[in-house]
Amino acid sequence: MLVVMRVDATDAQVDAVCAAIKNLGYEPHPMPGAQRTAVCITGNEGAVDRDRLAQLAGVREIIRVSKQYKLVSLETKSERTVVDVRGEPIGGQELTLIAGPCSVETEERTMAIAEALTAIGIKFFRAGAYKPRTSPYAFQGLEEEGLKILAKVRETFGLRIVTEAMSEETLPAVAEVADVLQIGARNMQNTALLKKIGKCALPVLLKRGAAATLEELLMAGEYIMSGGNHQVIFCERGIRTFGDHVRNTLDVSAIAAVKELSHLPTLGDPSHAAGKRNLVPPLARAAVAAGADGLIVEVHTDPSTAWSDGAQTLSVEEFKRLADELRHYREVFPPTQSPVAI
Ligand code: PEP
Ligand code: MN
């Protein structure tokens, strides 16, 4: 259920509605918008006593939300969410480009990549200090040492750091240096971690699991939002199919579908989908054409010696060409703003 407040409703009236919802034994989630505030109700098993709420001052209407996911739904909030990351938007008109190596490497190498990306106008730096590798024998990330290097990148270049939080245990340390917490594909349904992330004050990049349905992705976002953290960004990074010509099949239809179902921004990750460098540009174009609000791309000053995922990593020069081209694509394929009927 969604209680839509009038445009002129006061804060006190919104508070009174929230108190009434609590009194009924449910959970209120105020969702302020540019036009008006709505209060989403969760925790109700059956029908909510509409009449009790409809008569409260400042209430315009009460709407039933048909989907299982409520807070992430475009039914609940028809205005698209723009996540602010230290003054840089994700969502809205701008195409966001997040770039950097798969893993944090030595301080010298990581700083050199960050410097090269800053020089071409990139504002978001990706690199994992904790790496979820398929093999236990593969490099697992520099861990605390990597976080220190990321802190230096942030301080020196002002880049916004996007880095993965893999466990509840290491989350506090990762949150110290991250501007955006990445939840990887393997952890998309780690509900204990999602609950913790829901209590964090940082934006979250939630990657779709390799075998997750769209509904499961949206429900994972719902876990985070229902904990109180409304700054969720979805990311399509490819799913498991029978095809073996790529590492994962980039599901561009998921990007378009998420934009139809949710107000939250959605990015594409052409690198982990492609698995090979030459396929990254075409998949990046496809993601933008499908309506992605931005991309997260693996980039290195020397991809052939990258410590992980080198085969799918672009050089800075290759990435610059792609970034320049994508800005033109964005003019041809502007973000869809249409509130869509579901
Ligand atoms: C990554 O971004 O380096 C990564 C491990 O991604 P995913 O969780 O999508 O596999
Ligand atoms: Mn990687």
- Indicate if the pLDDT at residue 115 is higher than 90: yes
CA of 272 to the centre of ligand 2 (A): 6
Instruction: Tell whether 42 and 130 lie within a shared domain.
Output: no
Ligand closest in space to the Cα of 306: 2
Domain shared by 129 and 15, yes or no? no
Are residues 10 and 95 both part of a single domain?
Answer: no
Report which protein residue has its CA nearest ligand 1's atom 1: 102
The domain containing residue 9 runs over which residues? Answer: 2-63
C-alpha 263/C-alpha 76 separation (Å) is 9
pLDDT(46) > 80: no
Q: Which atom of ligand 1 is nearest to the CA of 126?
A: 2
Q: Which ligand is nearest to the CA of 273?
A: 1
Of 63, 93, 108, which residue is a domain's last?
Answer: 63
- The 10s digit of each residue's pLDDT in 137-193 is 999 999 999 999 999 999 999 999 999 999 999 999 999 999 999 999 999 999 999
Q: What is the CATH number of the domain that holds 236?
A: 3.20.20.70
Q: Which ligand is nearest to the CA of 307?
A: 2
Would you say residue 341 has pLDDT above 60? no
Report the percent of the chain where pLDDT is more than 70.
Answer: 98
- The residue to mutate among 98, 164, 181, 271, having the most atoms of ligand 1 within 8 angstroms of its beta carbon, is 164
Q: Which atom of ligand 1 is nearest to the CA of 269?
A: 9
Q: What is the pTM of this model?
A: 0.95
Closest-CA residue, ligand 1 atom 8, reads: 184
Same domain, 152 and 32: no
**Is any ligand 1 atom within 6 A of the Cβ of residue 128?**
yes
Phi and psi at 57, nearest 5°, equal -60, 140
pLDDT confidence band for 30 (50 / 70 / 90): very high
Judge if 204 and 255 occupy the same domain. yes
Q: Residue 30 maps to which CATH number?
A: 3.30.70.1140
The reply to whether 17 and 146 lie within a common domain is no
Which atom of ligand 1 approaches the CA of 102 most closely?
3
CB of 208 closer than 6 A to ligand 1?
Answer: no
Mean pLDDT across the stretch 65-71? Answer: 91
User: Quick one: 54 and 111 in the same domain?
Assistant: no
What are the distances in angstroms from CA 45 to CA 25, 27, 49, 68? Answer: 11, 12, 12, 12
CA 184 to ligand 1 center in whole angstroms: 5
User: Per-residue pLDDT for 338 more than 70?
Assistant: no
Summary mean pLDDT of the chain = 95
Is the CB of residue 237 less than 8 Å from the CB of residue 205? no
Same domain for 42 and 91?
A: no
**Residues 233-281 pLDDT 10s:** 999 999 999 999 999 999 999 999 999 999 999 999 999 999 999 999 9
Give yes or no for residue 237 CB within 6 A of ligand 1.
yes
Verify that 238 and 267 share a domain, yes or no. Answer: yes
Query: Distance, CA 144 to ligand 2 centroid (Å)?
Result: 18
State whether 198 and 55 are in the same domain: no
Question: Please, which pLDDT band fits residue 337 given cuts at 50, 70 and 90?
Answer: low
Number of domains the chain is built from: 2
Atom of ligand 1 nearest to the CA of 235: 9
Q: 107 and 142 in one domain?
A: yes
| The pLDDT value given to residue 34 | 81
